[in-house]
Chain A
């Protein structure tokens, strides 16, 4: 009896131990199937850039029926942090979307976590000038840009008509118009203030409006000019007034996230939405009302009064690179996918009116008004900025830049403190 109990006891211990040892999950599927893991910031696959990605995935599956995609999508900022965590854990997806070369992609390249793409084959495609060069490092191309991005003011024409005000061309007009919009019960303007980067890009815009010379920002980032110089302080003062005290934005700006800002605008509670042309899909997004979709428009970021000749200076950059991880079991397929993506996405994106591709596009007669507005803003640009300041140096500088812009917008620091702290962050980055 005693021996029987002992045997039973030891058998149970062994069984539990074996269970723990072999509890490693299910196999991926049958041996002929290939699962390509993909990561991006496009959780909604039915509209906008998510629908573009799905269309290309379907086309790729038609060419390779054995392939299936396992897509992991989150909102922009959580997604970026997830990729950093995956990189630390050695679990990057096979193909992924990632941004700015200096602050995000370069650390992956330096750590040999991503592979060079076929530059010769990809270069033959009709990219906009300089679109690929931003991702070339050591002579190798590491990512293909998805969109040509620039900073605009989306607005709802119906709200402006109802309140009887014109779309503002200057910051002064923006303040005056906002007072009337507020009186009529609307939130004048919204943006994603919680993540900070839209505020950082807006600071660049204002700085350019103040100085008329964006190359001064490059001088500062190269350490040739301190951020404490008067033009940076003046830009910070105008920025703080615009975002904190002018009444253009509500005082919950720094806790309003991307989704909340977009929804306030899409649900016609806010009259203006400061963002980039990747939001072009709003005009065809059936989650929003017909009234909104037919009235959404885009305008240039306002200038200072008297500086209307600067209207066509456009803060613009290439965004959203597609990259391939190194050591992927399916590297050949991933490369083929990138080639297909580069060949197809621009036409699909414009057909769906989902965004502004980094390749040349052919305007169509039935383009919606928002697409026409964005095309017009882009085509009339007399000067463009290139990559914005927050994405030019290190990840820590980027975070500091965003955090300082948030603090300035919240009125926690003064313009002088902002510039001094920015200078300290720059010195740390330049080390």
Chain B
């Protein structure tokens, strides 16, 4: 059997189809997208080659692109620094509870993650509806009428509302990752830290978090990709509005390609977006790996 898997021919047979599928499924569409991005094309009919004009427009004449990128990065910051911190703290608390209580709570916290995006978005947009939504009704019931609000229609609160929905949806996954990671921290490390005089806070900052860095790294990389490509919740809730206050890059490029029939321009946005997303992912990967190695 060992000989079977040390033969280069066999490895080629095993790896070859996968590599071919990857080239076909990932590299070919990107190359095709680069080609379309150099054209003025509605998605069908004649194409006109226009060189880098679409890229010039994306980078220098399209404030909506920059607004949508800013929103995506804001979502990423909120996810990494608020959702992750809360999920970690909650996972640590659950890890200290008796198994039967922890199991019930873990199940409850994970429910949003298994619901489809359509369900959770419609759930929250209905709850936030100013006319019949539960949030305003509850505020009214406790005498806080002044706080009643049109949460996703008001430009001042719309972005916060969609970010809240997105973070709420992803919270269960972060919790699951951190809880699983915490259960693998050896008890001996805790005991050694206690012997050295470390309190609960010090134990977490000096022992548990460094031990968990690979898990944190994985969660952050997943966060980066999911935040940057966020589209479904926007499509189902605000469609980028009011104005462009909740516009995200993935929805902006979809809108340009299939609503404005600017398929070439949509492809140019997608290429710029791929470069931005890859750069952020690689930088984060590098920084987190270096931090991991230092420990």
Contact = CB atoms under 8 A, between A and B. Distances in A.
Nearest to B125: A255
A5 B131 contact: no
A81 B153 contact: no
A191 to B, nearest CB: 14
A290 interface: no
B242 A111 contact: no
Contacts of B150: 250-252
A412 B243 contact: yes
Contact of B130 (A5, A16, A251, A395): A251
Interface in B44-82: 44-46
B131 A269 contact: yes
Given A9-B4, A84-B261, A410 B44 contact: no
Contacts of A399: 255, 259-260
A interface majority secondary structure: helix
Contact of B260 (A85, A269, A395, A407): A395
Q: What is the interface residue range for chain A against chain B?
A: 35 or more
B17 A17 contact: yes
Interface residues of B, number: 36
Given A9-B10, A107-B44, A395-B42, A88 B263 contact: yes
A2 B10 contact: no
B169 interface: no
Given A81-B259, A410-B242, A412-B155, A255 B237 contact: yes
B96 interface: no
Given A2-B3, A9-B10, A396-B261, A269 B130 contact: no
A84 B241 contact: no
Nearest to B3: A2
Contacts of B10: 9
A209 interface: no
A268 B273 CA distance: 46
B239 interface: yes
Contacts of A264: 131
B13 interface: yes
A6 B132 contact: no
A242 interface: no
B152 interface: yes
B36 to A, nearest CB: 10
Contact of B152 (A85, A255, A395, A406): A255
Q: What are the 4 A-B residue pairs with the smallest beta carbon separation, nearest first?
A: A111-B45, A88-B43, A410-B242, A395-B261
14 contacts: A5-B1, A9-B10, A84-B43, A107-B44, A111-B44, A111-B46, A187-B131, A251-B154, A252-B152, A269-B131, A395-B42, A395-B260, A396-B260, A407-B242
Interface of B: 1, 3-4, 10, 13-14, 17, 42-46, 125, 129-132, 150, 152-155, 237-239, 241-243, 245, 255, 258-263
